[in-house]
Amino acid sequence: MCKCSNKKFRDDKLHHECGVLGIYGVEDAAGLAYYGLHALQHRGQQGCGIVSVAPDGQFHRVKGDGLVSEVFNEQKLAKLPGKMAIGHVRYSNAGCKGTENIQPFLFHHNSGDFAMANNGQIVNYNKLREELEDKGSLFQSSSDAEVLAHLIKKQGTDKHLPRIYAIKDALCTLDGAFSFVIMTGRRIYACRDKYGFHPLAIGKLGDGYVVASETCAFDVLGAEYIRDVEPGEIVTLDHHGIRSQFYAEPQRHAMCAMEYVYFARPDSDIEGCNVHNYRKESGKILFQEAPADADIVIGVPDSSLSAAQGYAEASGLPYEMGLIKSKYVGRTFILPTQSMREKGVKMKLSPVKTIVKGKRVVLVDDSIVRGTTSLKIVKMLREAGAAEVHVRIASAPLKYTCYYGVDVHTPQELISNSNDVDQVCRLIEADSLAFLSHEGMLAAGHRDDLCLACFNHKYPTQLYGEE
Q: Which residues are catalytic?
A: 18
Task: Tell me which amino acid residue 10 is.
Answer: R
The Cα–Cα gap between 306 and 284 comes to 10
Name the helix (H) or strand (E) containing 122.
Answer: strand 114-122
What's 430's DSSP letter?
-
* Neighbour count for residue 158 (Cβ, 10 Å): 10
Question: What's the start-to-end Cα distance of the chain, in Å?
Answer: 17
* Neighbour count for residue 398 (Cβ, 10 Å): 24
Residues 6+ apart with CB under 8 A from 420: none
Phi-psi region of 322 (alpha: psi -120 to 50; beta: other; left: phi over 0): alpha
The Cα–Cα gap between 260 and 293 comes to 28
- Helices (H) then strands (E): counts for the chain: 16, 23
The β-bridge relationship of strands 388-393 and 432-435 is: parallel
The Cα–Cα gap between 311 and 292 comes to 10
The Cα–Cα gap between 322 and 166 comes to 55
Residues 6+ apart with CB under 8 A from 127: 464
Please give the sequence-ordered ranges of beta strands (E in DSSP) within 394-462, or none if there are none. 432-435, 450-451
Find out whether 185 and 136 touch, Cβ atoms under 8 Å. Answer: no
The Cα–Cα gap between 106 and 117 comes to 9
The CA angle 216-213-229, to the nearest 5 degrees, is 110
CA-closest candidate to residue 243, choices 179, 171, 164: 164
* Neighbour count for residue 245 (Cβ, 10 Å): 11
Find out whether 101 and 198 touch, Cβ atoms under 8 Å. Answer: no
Please give the sequence-ordered ranges of beta strands (E in DSSP) within 300-439, or none if there are none. 323-325, 349-351, 360-365, 388-393, 432-435
- Cis preceding-peptide flag for 65 (omega within 30 of 0): no
